[in-house]
Structure 1
Amino acid sequence: MRSRVADAFRPVRDRPEENVLSRTSRSRRLSAGLAAAALALTAAGTATAAHAAPSAPTGSTAAAAEPGILMNYVVNTRSDKGHVKKVEQAVVAAGGTVVQSYDQIGVVIAQSTNPDFRTDVRAGKNGRSVQTVGATRTAAVSEGPVGTAAKTAAAKGLNAGEAAPVLDPDEAKQWDMVQIKADQAHQITDGSRKVLVGINDSGVDDTHPDLAPNFDAKNSVNCVGNGVPDTTPGGWRPTTSAHGTHVAGTVAAARNGVGIVGVAPNVRIASVKVVNDDGYIFPEYAICGFIWAAEHKMDVTNHSYFIDPWQFWCDDDGDQGAVQESVRRAVDFATKRGGLAVAAAGNSNYDLANKTTDTSSPNDSTAVTRQITNDCLDIPTELPGVITVASTTQARARSGFSNFGLNKIDVAAPGSTILSTLPGGKYGTMSGTSMASPHVAGVAALIKSARPWLSPRQIENALRVEADDQSCPTTPDPRCTGTTANNAFFGEGIVDSLDAIQRW
């Protein structure tokens, strides 16, 4: 089985098929879900981060750091309280602060201005418990020291690279629901209130009339303050991006005679905010989101983003390898707790099965062109246990922005010009694999509703086996390798909600 995640609105940095965003735009970030999901909007400009980079370990691609730059790190150890405690002590001895500890997976998030932190944390007896350590960014921590007051939301509407939404409720002909047979599945079930879906994204407007009936505030959280879970009421709402609200509507807009209807209109949704005001999803945010979802018994989580600042994280680099391992542990923990992660494949029209170069990383400082191999992963989308979703058009073709790759894409779903909810009680269309992924998350929620005893792996199997085979284009495209049953563009086909709930 494979792993993968998508691009969506910067929450996966998505780009619309009609207006593909540049790979360096903030929207690409969210689009591992967001990148492909850029609201079919007019580009709003590109914000840049001009921070000093941290010092780099041997073999790292990161730049050298200036003394005093505040950086965050993942420190990996064995997953037991004793070793985690020793690592916490090693962090303090190295001049660092413990931000968050996860005994469950043996990961400590640390913060320090010590440019030699990676070396110093390994020193002494307690340092022996450190397996790997790596910086989570290449620029200084923008939110400041852990424990400081949260920043005021940036005074801007859309993320850089996002276009203004089309606000036309008359477009509520949801062709996407017909394509995945959700309209037929709804004749059998709208989903169960016992099923909870996590919208790991830029925040959800729970006051929207189509989302309020299904919103679960007590299980919502904000993870963008250095990866520390913040349950302040409303902290999980969007501040600068409509992405998460759009994703939420596709999953579970209520059947209430208002606006639209989601794939699973009777399940509950919770907002797990992992995208900051500048559109970044740093590793500590994503890890916080996965662990929160696991501890709060979320049955399905949607991830329409890729983790910043690297489009692909290479395990032969000290920092990137440590981060890749930390996030992998978080995904594995959530899966073992009964949660299925669904992610956007990304919006770079890139062959994930044949990686050669990366020209857009790191995106929080200065990007450099580097040669990469398939060992470098788009995370969380390419991690084991994650369902990777490609995007289709109304004509059942591959969306031009969608990433692809034989045995990389699991299934496909509608992602071009998708109508859904927007903050402020509005509606609009967006395009991206970020829009495709929530369709699959919704179908997974319907399966869980109909067969509550199924495990994440069994639900994944249902999604793949019952997907409708989709052939490669009739006009030969050498990139579409594989067979009708499993190919680089559509994986095992377009997800079929009707068959998935009837046969499992």
Structure 2
Amino acid sequence: MSRSSRTRRLSAGLAVAALALTTAGAATAAQATPFAPSTSTAAAAEPGLLMNYVVNTKATKPHVKRVEQAVKAAGGTVVASYDQLGVVIAQSTNPDFRTDVRQGRNGREVQSVGATRTAAVSEGPVGTAAKAAAKGLNAGESTVVPDPDEAKQWDMVQIKADQAHQVTDGSKRVLVGVTDSGVDDQHPDLKPNFDAKNSVNCTGNGVADRTPGGWRPTTSDHGTHVAGTIAAARNGVGIVGVAPGVRIASVKVVNDDGYIYPEYAICGFVWAAEHHMDVTNHSYFIDPWQFWCDDDGDQGAVQEAVRRAMNYQTKKGVLSVAAAGNSNYDLANKTTDTSSPNDSTAVTRNITNDCLDIPTELPGVITVASTTQARIKSSFSNFGLGKIDVAAPGSSILSTLPGGGYGTKSGTSMASPHVAGVAALMKSAHPWWGPRDLEKALQRQADDTACPTTPDARCTGTTANNAFFGEGIADALDAVTRIR
């Protein structure tokens, strides 16, 4: 994970709309207006930092519209509205925005409100941020013909993808969203399977940007590496992905500084839902908090907004797969957090299991731990009984890099796309299955993996389900040959 890495995020251990989405802020507002009281005799309030907020209400259009009015009355600008979630993304320089948005008749519609970050908005006011530059990154037959570097892919052997490919490489009907730092769609191993029509950039204050090429990487190779593991094409070039016959789309949610703020993630979740993706991969945690605690006003509001967005994605038929994280941390026994917030000054705080690593700990998300070539837990991988669903290779994984290159990375970021690929093969073989069917099959078909023979007190549970490997190591062969 580069900054990626820092957060499970994007890499080896580096601590990554449609239907009812409106972008009133981007379309009509020139910028967030400095707040001043409406009373004509009052002195203008001193503007504070430009901040973004989630404002939660009931998931109906009338309630959302009234909250939009409350946002404007509080000196804010509406960035994006999601009627289907009951979530409004707002921006304001009013230092009392959280309080003021609850005032007046429309303020009663606000269920919760919270800042999405602890540092000022780096993109600038809505409507003035520059579009992401479109980087000009250049550069199933019965008998499977290996690609040149396929023999180096020990990871594909561990999950039996090489055997699964004797049955199928996957179907072009299946679309996987690479929710990450952008994908080099011109890479020769990715171009054959890339779906530009369904790709997007969400890093401009969480507004869906369809500028051609805006979905490409600008500062990070993380998303391109993840994409190769999922679906590098069988084309006689380089490597082969777990599901080399499916389509991939880039959902860019990582900005140039390596942050994945909540509004970016919410934009990506809704985009995936509205563009009929079958599987999405999330090799990151949402910044700036490694764990979002619901007893904190800001964090609780954000946790709720993100949960609604993820639930909406699931209801729309999308299976979400996420990396467990690279802190060698027991997610089932949380005690302290020393690395958050990561966009300002980190503090040491006591936490409980009610504080969630999102999106990986949200309901319905497949949480993936990392293994080595020796089939043991990678030293960096997070773990936790009842938290890990399955495991997959994540140490020294060979995959694609921007500009037509290849390289190895380590992290649960690399493990998660293996499982996303297995899910894509499974969806190809069973197109009528929904997210819950895929989730149950992934867990049931995983190869049971016991705790280390040298006792490790952290590995609790049984061979069938334990803290290090969950239900076991993902099995691509079973995904395409077993009904259940």
In the superposition, the TM-score normalised over structure 1's length comes to 0.86
SS at match of 2:280: strand
How far off its partner does 1:381 sit? 0.5
Amino acid at match of 2:253: V
Q: Give secondary structure in 2 for the equivalent of 1:129.
A: coil
Choose from 77, 81, 97 the match for 2:57.
77
Residue 19 of structure 1: aligned partner: none
- Partner residue, 1:121: 101
8 Å CA contact 2:170, 2:425 repeated in 1: yes
Q: Secondary structure at the match of 2:440?
A: helix
- Residue aligned with 2:369, SS: strand
Corresponding residue of 1:239: 218
Structure 2 counterpart of 1:407: 386
Which structure has the larger Rg? 2
* Preserved contact between residue 33 and residue 437 of structure 1 (Cα < 8 Å): no
Aligned positions of 1:493-504 closer than 5 A: 493-504=472-483
Alpha-carbon displacement from aligned partner over 1:91-145 (angstroms, at most 9, x marks no partner): 0000000000000110000000000000000000101110000000001000000
CA deviations on 1:160-187 (whole Å, 9 max, x unpaired) are: xxxxxxxxx8685100000000000011
Alpha-carbon distance between aligned partners in 1 of 2:361 and 2:10, rounded to the nearest angstrom: 13
Question: How big is the shift at 1:152?
Answer: 7.0
Residue 407 (structure 2) pairs with residue 428 (structure 1): yes
* Residue 34 in structure 1 maps to residue 15 in structure 2: no
* Structure 1 segments unaligned to the other structure (5+ residues): 1-7, 14-26, 39-65, 156-168
Correspondence for 1:108: 88
Matched, 1:141 2:121: yes
SS in 2 for 1:240: coil
The one-letter amino acid paired with 2:65 is K
SS for the counterpart of 2:129 is coil
Deviation at 1:500, TM superposition (A): 2.1
Instruction: Give the C-alpha shift of residue 322 in structure 1.
Output: 0.2
Equivalents in 2 of 1:170, 1:125: separation in Å? 64
* Structure 1 partner of 2:337: 358
TM-fit CA distance, 1:68? 2.1
Secondary structure of 1:87's counterpart equals: helix
Quote how far apart the aligned CAs of 1:150 are.
Answer: 2.0
Q: Specify the alignment match of 2:357 in structure 1.
A: 378
How many residues get paired?
442
1:20 corresponding residue in structure 2: none
User: What's the secondary structure of 2:169's corresponding residue?
Assistant: coil
Q: Encode CA deviations 1:362-400: one digit per residue, 9 max, x unaligned.
A: 000000000000000000000001000000000000000
Q: Partners in 2 of 1:151 and 1:295 — Cα distance?
A: 22
Question: Is 2:438 the partner of 1:462?
Answer: no
Checking the alignment, whether the CA contact within 8 Å between 2:131 and 2:211 is kept in structure 1 is: no
- What is residue 88 of structure 1 aligned with on the other side? 68
* Counterpart position of 2:38: none
The equivalent residue for 1:199 is 178
- Within the candidate set 428, 436, 440, 1:449 is matched to 428
Question: Given the alignment, which residue of 281, 286, 291 partners 1:307?
Answer: 286
* SS of residue in 2 equivalent to 1:501: helix
Pairwise CA distance, 1:28: 1.7
Shift of 1:502: 1.2
1:23 maps to: none
Q: Percent identity?
A: 83
Q: Aligned equivalents of 2:154 and 2:266: distance in 1?
A: 35
The one-letter amino acid paired with 1:308 is D
2:196 paired with 1:217:
yes
Match of 2:20 in 1: none
SS of the counterpart of 1:439? helix
Residues 311-346 of structure 1: per-residue CA shift (max 9 Å, x gap): 000000000000000000000000000000000000
SS in 2 for 1:183: helix
CA positional deviation for 1:503: 1.2
Contact 1:172 1:419 in 2 (8 A): no
Shift of 1:148: 1.2
Q: Does the 8 Å CA contact 1:303/1:437 hold for their aligned counterparts?
A: yes
Residue 334 of structure 1: aligned partner: 313
Within the candidate set 292, 306, 310, 2:271 is matched to 292
Q: Measure how far apart 1:480 and its partner are.
A: 0.2
Change (3 A) 1:181 1:349: same
RMSD of the alignment, in Å? Answer: 1.7
2:96 counterpart letter in structure 1: D
CA–CA distance in 1 between the matches of 2:131 and 2:406?
28
Encode CA deviations 1:16-47: one digit per residue, 9 max, x unaligned: xxxxxxxxxxx323x24536368xxxxxxxxx
Q: 1:186 aligns with which of 152, 161, 165?
A: 165
Alpha-carbon distance in structure 2 between the residues aligned to 1:151 and 1:479: 47
In structure 1, distance between residues paired with 2:393 and 2:374: 10
TM-score (norm. length: structure 2) = 0.89
Take 1:37 and 1:193, find their aligned partners in 2: how far apart are those partners?
32
With over 3 angstroms needed to count, the CA separation of the structure-2 counterparts of 1:412 and 1:33, relative to structure 1, is: farther
- Distance apart, 1:149 and its partner CA: 3.2
Q: Distance between the aligned counterparts of 2:6 and 2:368, measured in 1?
A: 16
Q: What SS does the corresponding residue of 1:388 show, helix, strand or coil?
A: strand
Q: Distance in 1 between matches of 2:185 and 2:2?
A: 19
- What's 2:322 paired with? 343
**Partner of 2:245 in structure 1?**
266
Given that 1:201 and 1:271 are in contact with CA atoms closer than 8 Å, whether structure 2 keeps it comes out as: yes
Counterpart-to-counterpart distance in 2, 1:177 and 1:224: 32
Structure with larger RCO (C-alpha < 8 A, sep 6+): 1
Which sections of structure 2, spanning at least 5 residues, go unmatched?
16-45, 136-147
1:476 to 442, 455, 465: 455
Structure 1 residue ranges, 4+ long, deviating more than 4 angstroms after superposition: 169-172
> Could you say what secondary structure the match of 1:263 adopts?
coil
2:56 maps to amino acid: N
CA contact (8 A) 1:199 1:248 kept: yes
C-alpha distance in 2 between matches for 1:80 and 1:151 = 31
Q: Which segment is superposed worse, 213-222 or 170-179?
A: 170-179
User: Does the 8 A contact of 1:33 with 1:346 survive in 2?
Assistant: no
Distance 1:246 1:152 in 2: 21
